[in-house]
A and B are shown apart, each in its own frame.
Chain A
Amino acid sequence: MLDAQRDYVLRTVEERGIRLVRLWFTDVLGNLKSFAISPAELENALNDGMSFDGSSIDGYGRVQEADVLALPDPNTFEVLPWVDSKAAEARVFCDIAQLDGTPFEGDPRQVLRRNLEAARKLGFVFYIAPDIEYFYFAPPAGGRPTPLDEGGFFDLTTTDITSSLRKETIRTLETMSIPVEYSFHEDSPSQHEIDLRHTDALAMADSVMTFRFVVKEIAAMRNVHATFMPKPMESVQGSGMHLHLSLFKGDSNAFYDSHDPYNLSDVAKSFMAGLLRHAAEITAVTNQTVNSYKRLVPGFEAPVHVSWARNNRSGLIRVPVPKRGNDLATRIELRSPDPACNPYLAFSVILAAGLRGVAEGYDLPLEADANLFEMGDAALAKLGIDQLPQSLNDALKVMESSQLVAEALGEHIFEWFLRNKRTEWRKYKTHVSQFEIDTYLRSL
């Protein structure tokens, strides 16, 4: 199969007149990295990998042996649809390996592969469908973000440039093997949501990387700035990346049980229990910026509490009602992650938390169907419902003592991530904000 895949890629490069092949990979913070090779180098790259100096990549640097290998994954080879066909370009995602061929511990894609392999040993395939929100703004010119439209949820703003941008984005995504389920204008001005159809977690992490790139690229072509910043404007709802999750065992949905009132199997329930019990530990990874925690506040449809419910959007996990009782569509929706996360690492810790629940047979706490936003802390405490970490600092403190996250990420990334994010927090802590100037400068 591998040889056939390589032949397919090499032949396509020749037939389509590809001039450049872009090798894509991801740093620890989730930034897309790329270097281009000529078609002549591709055959070598497919067989032996391309070596490069990893020390300049965030989270890759090591004291000795800075060189690493980029191994193209031929099944991710795609012609880039927005590039002029006279000088056609293609991209291929890479796994990063050490020079001796063993997986490089600083590569997020390898981390996800390792976690998926653990699930596979239990017979599970992890499927994910994300709902990704983002904003279109006028190009940032040092000031505040400027929305391009004033539309609300589901508004028909047909004449808007942002709607045509979204349409063009979807067309491009679909020609790149990323089918779109729904798309609409979100609540906030200039905010949009695109929901992707489910795939296995590795393909989806690649798709999220491609998605962010395509959204930004297509916007930039029209001089518009697209952003996945979790909370760009304080007065309106932020951008989340709700994840619809399911585990399949062979051809059947391991989350489905026809005898349960909610059609949830024991596997689904203990997976949810795992996510709830370890929610605080994995939050620094699923919500990795200082700004992420300004989204996770009451009043904006973002989760604040560690709870679950069938139809309560204030909880961490929602259990959507599948269409026509379709057993294959039974799934849970994790609502805390934001689109600025590193999808490979986020999917890794989410899977690890859920599987811990399955392995140890955690009991699912009672459903919290009341609107938690309206309950006081005391009442919540009585129900045993905690809050998600309130800041990046809080999240890092919990993560630091989590064996689960350390194992899921591996020591290399675990330590680098904590170090990098503590630095981010320190910088933020010493920053004197406009809020402080406005509040204290005159009165104190």
Chain B
Amino acid sequence: MTAAGLLAVFPEAPGIDVARTLDLSGYSWKGVANVETMAKLTPTSGWAGAVVSCDEDPEGGWAMCRALRRLERPVQRILVLITGAQVGDLEVRDNLFEDFQLAPFHPRELEARLRHMFYNELIAPSTTVVEHAGLRLNLETYQATFGGSPLDLTFMEYELLKFFVQNPGRVYSREVILSEVWGYEYFGGARTVDVHVRRLRAKLGEEHAHLIETVRSVGYRFGSSKWSG
């Protein structure tokens, strides 16, 4: 899991230099063919950013940027790839990207631009802040916020939520959650997990209670799986 989360990359099969730079710099990314497939592939937590090539298919590329900005969770960090001849196109499209890269490019320049674009998220690689779907946990100050408002939690509720937010999209059994969050020596049994999940759901409020999903006869999943959607 990189600090940046999942990036959308257009076109579906980007140029080899783009793909290699992204992979070698440790970004997780997914190629998207067009606006429709992009919408379908969007993770519930939203895209962390996007790299959109406008050099070969300018119309498709700018349409993609527009669609990314109109998502329920608009993508702010968009880097567009253009040729020198296209610089004039930027003038009327300042609202559609965060940074641009002239092609052809040196891989280290693209890497530096990406790193700068994601600077805020990468600033603390040990992740003192973890975020998911509007939930934000500051691991240093133990403070949780949801949609910007403080969420008051007891210590064990906080620990459980931290585990979920750090491990989104995967199903965990009660036993695993119990041993990870409470420790093996805890006596209360796995019902303790159910009790605390109910408390967390109540505190998240009715419309967000589904963030912690009960997976029947298995356990719990926080957020949806990235790829299964």
Which A residues are within 8 Å of any B CB, using their own CB?
1, 4-5, 7-9, 11-12, 15-16, 74-79, 81, 120, 125, 127, 174-175, 177-180, 197-200, 203, 248-251, 328
- Alpha-carbon distance between A383 and B152 when the two chains are bound, in angstroms: 54
Contacts of A127 in B (CB 8 A): 191
Q: How far does the Cβ of B151 sit from chain A's closest Cβ, in whole Å?
A: 9
Q: How far does the Cβ of A88 sit from chain B's closest Cβ, in whole Å?
A: 10
- Alpha-carbon distance between A312 and B154 when the two chains are bound, in angstroms: 39
Q: Let me know if B142 and A12 touch, CB within 8 A.
A: yes
Q: Let me know if A251 and B195 touch, CB within 8 A.
A: no
7 further A-B contacts with Cβ under 8 Å, apart from A4-B155, A127-B191, are A15-B141, A75-B156, A180-B202, A198-B195, A200-B188, A249-B189, A251-B190
Contacts of A79 in B (CB 8 A): 152
Q: Let me know if A8 and B201 touch, CB within 8 A.
A: no
Q: How far does the Cβ of A89 sit from chain B's closest Cβ, in whole Å?
A: 12
Known contacts A12-B142, A251-B175, A251-B191; A197 and B198 CB within 8 A of each other: yes
Is there a chain A Cβ closer than 8 Å to B106's Cβ? no
Contacts of B156 in A (CB 8 A): 75
Of the candidates B143, B150, B155, B195, the one whose C-beta lies within 8 Å of that of A5 is B155
Q: B126-149: which residues lie under 8 A (CB-CB) from chain A?
A: 141-143
Known contacts A16-B150, A79-B152, A179-B201; A251 and B141 CB within 8 A of each other: no
Is there a chain A Cβ closer than 8 Å to B208's Cβ? no
Of the candidates B141, B183, B192, the one whose C-beta lies within 8 Å of that of A1 is B183
Is there a chain A Cβ closer than 8 Å to B174's Cβ? yes
Contacts of A179 in B (CB 8 A): 198-199, 201-202
- Alpha-carbon distance between A238 and B151 when the two chains are bound, in angstroms: 37
Of the candidates A11, A74, A81, A180, the one whose C-beta lies within 8 Å of that of B142 is A11
Contacts of B198 in A (CB 8 A): 179, 197
Contacts of A120 in B (CB 8 A): 187
- Alpha-carbon distance between A16 and B152 when the two chains are bound, in angstroms: 9
Q: Let me know if A174 and B202 touch, CB within 8 A.
A: yes
Contacts of A328 in B (CB 8 A): 191
Q: Let me know if B155 and A74 touch, CB within 8 A.
A: yes
Q: Let me know if A75 and B154 touch, CB within 8 A.
A: yes
Q: How far does the Cβ of B193 sit from chain A's closest Cβ, in whole Å?
A: 10
Q: Let me know if A125 and B191 touch, CB within 8 A.
A: yes
Most A CB contacts (10 A, CB to CB) among B141, B187, B192, B198 go to B198
- Alpha-carbon distance between A74 and B154 when the two chains are bound, in angstroms: 8
Q: How far does the Cβ of B180 sit from chain A's closest Cβ, in whole Å?
A: 13
- Alpha-carbon distance between A75 and B188 when the two chains are bound, in angstroms: 14
Contacts of A15 in B (CB 8 A): 141-143
The bracket for how many chain B residues form the interface is 20 to 34
Which B residues are within 8 Å of any A CB, using their own CB?
141-143, 150, 152, 154-158, 174-175, 183, 187-192, 195, 198-199, 201-203
Contacts of B157 in A (CB 8 A): 177
Contacts of B143 in A (CB 8 A): 12, 15-16
Q: Let me know if B152 and A199 touch, CB within 8 A.
A: no
- Alpha-carbon distance between A128 and B216 when the two chains are bound, in angstroms: 23
- Residue of A with least CB distance to B138: A15
- Alpha-carbon distance between A125 and B174 when the two chains are bound, in angstroms: 17
Q: How far does the Cβ of B57 sit from chain A's closest Cβ, in whole Å?
A: 49
Rank and list the top 4 A-B pairs by shortest CB-CB distance, nearest first.
A174-B202, A179-B202, A79-B152, A251-B190
Q: Let me know if B191 and A248 touch, CB within 8 A.
A: yes
- Alpha-carbon distance between A250 and B193 when the two chains are bound, in angstroms: 12
Q: Let me know if B152 and A200 touch, CB within 8 A.
A: no
Q: Let me know if A203 and B187 touch, CB within 8 A.
A: no
14 of the cross-chain contacts (CB-CB < 8 Å) are A1-B183, A7-B142, A9-B155, A77-B154, A78-B154, A127-B191, A175-B203, A177-B157, A177-B199, A177-B202, A178-B199, A179-B201, A203-B195, A251-B174
Q: How far does the Cβ of B182 sit from chain A's closest Cβ, in whole Å?
A: 8
Q: How far does the Cβ of B177 sit from chain A's closest Cβ, in whole Å?
A: 12
Contacts of B192 in A (CB 8 A): 200
Q: Let me know if A76 and B154 touch, CB within 8 A.
A: yes
Contacts of B150 in A (CB 8 A): 16
Q: How far does the Cβ of A96 sit from chain B's closest Cβ, in whole Å?
A: 21
- Alpha-carbon distance between A120 and B187 when the two chains are bound, in angstroms: 8
- Alpha-carbon distance between A8 and B191 when the two chains are bound, in angstroms: 24
- Alpha-carbon distance between A179 and B206 when the two chains are bound, in angstroms: 11
Q: Let me know if A175 and B195 touch, CB within 8 A.
A: no
Most B CB contacts (10 A, CB to CB) among A8, A9, A78 go to A8
